[in-house]
Amino acid sequence: MKLKFTKRRIAAAALNIMSLAGFMVLTQIGSSQAESQQYNYAAERWENGDESDSYAQISCFFPESADFTTDSVGSARAGVLNALKTVSMAPEEGQKLCPDAYSAEVGQATVKGDITGRSEAEITAVGGDFFLIHNFTLLDGAFFSDEDVMQDGAVIDRSLAWALYGSHEVSGMKLTINGVQFYISGVIETPQTDEEQQCAGELPRAYISYDGATAIAAEASADTGSAQERFNSVTCYEILMPDPVESYAFQSIEVYMESLDCGAAVIQNSGRFEVFKRLGAIKNISDTAVQDSGIVYPWWENASRITEFRLSFICLGAALCLAVPTVTVLWLIVRGYRALKRNKKRFLRAALNLLKKGCSLVKSKISCLKIKPTSR
């Protein structure tokens, strides 16, 4: 039976090909968008391919009225360990079971180099395993940590390094932030994706310890004659927590934050870009687009939220593209079933004839293989 290429069939085939091509293009764009937000894949990096150790990355963001401080971090860590004890999980000696980080924006400050370089910059106070979780691209030097004896290190981005010294290879050089002296511990790459650049803003960025932020606050207090206060505000708390059962880590952190009644927004970074989550979020897209909680999210979270928003519509477009081939396949199955039902006797006769031919062929092959007697 010859297949007739009617205009209708050609148009249907073209539509299916275009739909499949659109699905593959949108899928690739979506994957690229998700992978560009590497901040959200800290749990996967920490697992290092070991599927037996399932981790989840959880972030908590606080309004200024929450009064969540560096002292609160210790209580949160204790709460996490207590939650893990209920599922018989405890850190082994020398093991870091739950890496975590905390941070807060110090604000805009004047940064000066040793010579004539100077620039305005956004300053962020960080603690814990901040640089482990954020996975910045290190161009020069090293990251500072809570274990450093002196807490006067600063990690600056490439644009600030060039503004101060005309190079990014400046680790070990001195700088001052609002009159307080630091040394450049490391230089990192500036935000690369469009979303990150949009949210990070035009000013360069520097990351300092909480002790460094306290020193800046003390300098400002001395200039104004006001009482000196320790900088201990935390507006972002992040943790990599074992997740023995799906969503156990998220629910444990969410319950703990609810017990504090601090108005925290708890977000699970792990898996936030999955297709079904993005499609499910479309009905509540206004929750992502509009925020009235009083929380000022850091630039890395805002970049992730923009990506979530875009991915929801990319996934919807990919699903719509896949709808045409799906309907076509179902239609062909129905057509095939009806044809089989209409011509059942003919198909059975054809199958029996094919079976007979197969049996005849097997018999002829067996007869050809008969062993002839050999003469002695």
Q: Please say if the pLDDT value at position 226 is more than 70.
A: no
Tell me how many degrees the CA angle 167-171-177 measures, rounded to the nearest 5.
90
30, 318 contact by CB (below 8 A) = yes
For 187-200, write each residue's pLDDT tens digit: 999 998 899 999 99
Best CA proximity match to 160, nearest among 109, 91, 125: 109
**Which residues lie closer than 8 Å to 376 by C-beta, 6 or more apart?**
none
- Of the chain, the end-to-end C-alpha distance in Å amounts to 58
pTM of the model: 0.82
Give me the residue label for tokens 């992502």.
Answer: 288
100-109, 254-263, 347-356: segment of lowest average pLDDT: 347-356
CA–CA dist 138, 58 (Å, integer): 24
Tell me the C-alpha to C-alpha distance, in Å, between residue 225 and each of 179, 212, 214, 220.
16, 20, 16, 8
Q: What is the mean pLDDT of the chain?
A: 86
Strands 153-157 and 180-188: parallel
For 104-114, write each residue's pLDDT tens digit: 999 999 999 98
57, 268 contact by CB (below 8 A) = yes
Residue 2 has a pLDDT of 53
User: What is the pLDDT averaged over residues 203-226?
Assistant: 87
163, 192 contact by CB (below 8 A) = no
Q: Please say if the pLDDT value at position 289 is more than 60.
A: no
Tell me the C-alpha to C-alpha distance, in Å, between residue 123 and each of 41, 53, 317.
24, 35, 40
CA–CA dist 205, 198 (Å, integer): 14
